[in-house]
Structure 1
């Protein structure tokens, strides 16, 4: 049995957490994208990156590896869910004004196609469907390089004011 290993690093999550709400959600995410703020440690642990962000839309990408596999030889559903949750949540965050934050209330995922190393790079594209004063609804699609739909998710998010530091 051949052993494999993977090493990764991450930035201090307190730095990014302290910046939430100081600027708009879009400005916050653009700072993460530009490397001015550290990405979430889960992104380093799983190896995914924020690739695009605009108001109401966020895109994350992952090159699937066998470190993402479940015991039956395909990418674990939790990896799909993490990518979709990140894309949907950050789509909501990108639409928030300064002084506001969000948290996910639920995540409903539909797995449509298997993903493995042969699938190649996948993208989770999140968009805001509806936003009110207290809640937002977002969706996210997991797509392969040919834009085939691999999984779909919806997420309800609670919006709240962030206390001034």
Structure 2
């Protein structure tokens, strides 16, 4: 018998329309508080924004079978999505009102496998440098015992919104 999962999300245009109305930090805090809807990818993966501060964010996820690749572990794309979200949102947290960003690259290193037995995993993103046109961030993926599962660096392009 097959397994199934239902996913519900809110209109992503609501949050997208609010980006330029807040500083990056305030925008993320509004999202974390539920006053702005989370992006649909959060619902799709079951990922939550747990912590937000200036220059640092934390996303969490409890891996399930729906995250698996054909060899019986969590797909690398799930790692990459969590790490990209954490690095990008860390950059967003330092941006002034009227400034947006987009990822230019993502360099991911996979260090340990993740399965349903791993339990909750956390992607911790931090800003390494933020300039006028670009920003550099990193993100680390940890299990509940704080073992490093994966690491990324990401360059982001900054622009007016």
TM > 0.5 between the two?
Answer: yes
Match of 1:59 in 2: 58
Distance in 2 between the 1:43 and 1:23 partners? 21
User: What residue is the counterpart of 2:101 in the other structure?
Assistant: 102
Taking the TM superposition and a 5 Å limit, the aligned residue runs for 1:14-163 are: 14-162=13-161
SS in 2 for 1:88: helix
Gaps of 5+ in 1: none
Q: TM-score, normalised by structure 1?
A: 0.97
Return the TM-score normalized by structure 2: 0.99
Aligned equivalents of 1:131, 1:93: Cα separation in 2: 10
Moved over 6 A (4+): none
Q: How far is 1:109 from its partner?
A: 0.2
How far off its partner does 1:154 sit?
0.4
Q: CA RMSD in A?
A: 0.4
Shift of 1:8: 1.2
